[in-house]
Amino acid sequence: MNEAALHKDRFEAIEAYLLGTMPPEERHRFEQELAADALLRDEVELQGENTLAIELAGITRTLQAVREEHREMSPAASGKSWTIHLKYAAMVAVLMVGAVWWIARPPENERLFAEYYVEDPGLPVPMSAVNDPVFQDAMVAYKLGDFAEARNKWGDLLQREPSNDTLRYYMANTYLAEGDAQAAIPLYESVAGAPGSAFHDKARWYLFLSYLHEGRLNELPDTMLARDTYYGEKERSVRSRIHP
């Protein structure tokens, strides 16, 4: 489908989405529509590629114009050429920013991870691990975003209690919060495989996100969260937006 075939309103909506000018609430609704409409996803991809091609063509034409103008300019007028060159340089810079953004944008799985990942807020400190001061200190560090300190303290506790699902779950959270999904996966798997754990459901969701981060969703069963009334819908939404 080419641009001429797109409905004007949809074309403008896609353009605003790609350029980042869409208001937040409208963007949220648009992304929900993207999740449910494969044709719309194809149109967004096509329009993005067309925009990139137009920008690259514009860069080429601008550079050619600069060369032609420079050749035709008399020596007496060469002093004025800097203003013209600066104008063209600014135009090229704007075009290049758009082109570089499109070329260097993160892979789809990373974009979806960034959209769906929300860091676990942690436990209220007075409720933490039966008043264990080390656990509490680690939880405070976790809440402050000092994940390395929290992990070091929880790691010491985990050596003494290797089967503690709370420690495993929050250790995994520190890794995922720092982008190390690979290290988080085995810890989440151990908790996700324990139906009696209080963190079982959340561990399965974060395990799903960890595999999404690594681009390995094909290694998880499609029905992993099918019976989960909260996370199941999120899983289906993510999977519907991953191109086959």
Of 4-18, 24-38, 111-125, 187-201, give the lowest mean pLDDT range.
4-18
Domain count, the chain: 2
Is 70 exceeded by the pLDDT of residue 139?
A: yes
**Is 144 within a domain?**
yes
Determine, yes or no, domain membership for 216. yes
25 has pLDDT over 60: yes
Tell which of 104, 127, 148 closes a domain: 104
More confident site: 69 or 116: 116
- Which one of 75, 104, 133 terminates a domain? 104
Please check whether residue 230 lies inside any domain of the structure. Answer: yes
Both 50 and 15 in one domain: the answer is yes
* pLDDT at residue 129 greater than cutoff 50: no
Compute the mean pLDDT over every residue in the chain, rounded to the nearest whole number.
Answer: 80
228 in the same domain as 120: yes
- Print the domain residue range for 36: 3-104
Is pLDDT at 125 greater than 80 in this prediction? no
CB-CB contact of 55 with 95 (8 Å): yes
Same domain membership, residue 173 and residue 99: no
Residues 236, 123 share a domain: yes
* Burial category of 151 from C-beta neighbours within 10 Å (exposed 0-12, middle 13-18, buried 19 and up): buried
Q: Which amino acid is at 232?
A: G
76-88 pLDDT, tens digit each: 555 555 555 556 5
Q: Which of 143, 137, 196 is nearest to 165 (CA)?
A: 196
Do 148 and 233 have their domain in common? yes
Burial of 40 (0-12, 13-18, 19+ CB in 10 A): middle
pLDDT of 240 reads: 87
Tens of pLDDT along 42-51? 787 777 776 6
Point out the least confidently predicted range of 35-44, 76-85, 135-144: 76-85
Tokens in use for 38? 């494969």
User: Residues 10, 96: one domain?
Assistant: yes
N- to C-terminal Cα separation, the chain: 19
Q: Picking from 54-63, 109-118, 206-215, 217-226, which range would have the lowest pLDDT averaged per residue?
A: 54-63
Residues 19 and 73 in one domain: yes
Tell whether 18 and 69 lie within a shared domain. Answer: yes
Q: Are the C-beta atoms of 184 and 208 separated by less than 8 Å?
A: no
Q: What gap in Å lies between CA 48 and CA 17, rounded to an integer?
A: 10
DSSP class per residue in the chain:
--GGGS-HHHHHHHHHHHHT-S-HHHHHHHHHHHHH-HHHHHHHHHHHHHHHHHHHHHHHHHHHHHHHHHHH--GGGGGGHHHHHHHHHHHHHHHHHHHHHHHHPPPHHHHHHHHH--------GGGGGGG-HHHHHHHHHHHTT-HHHHHHHHHHHHHH-TT-HHHHHHHHHHHHHTT-HHHHHHHHHHHHT-TTSTTHHHHHHHHHHHHHHTT-GGGS-TTTTTT-TTHHHHHHHHHHHS--
In the numeric block, the tokens 């641009």 are attached to 3
CA diameter of the chain: 85
Has residue 132 been placed in a domain? Answer: yes
* Domain identity same for 207 and 233: yes
**Residue 186, domain member (yes or no):** yes
> Which CATH number does the domain housing residue 227 bear?
1.25.40.10
Predicted pLDDT at 241: 84
Last residue of a domain, one of 104, 137, 153: 104
Q: How confident is the model at residue 69 (pLDDT cuts 50, 70, 90)?
A: low
Instruction: Indicate if 45 and 141 belong to the same structural domain.
Output: no
In a domain, 110, yes or no: no
156-172: per-residue pLDDT in tens? 999 999 999 999 999 99
Q: Same domain, yes or no, for 125 and 231?
A: yes
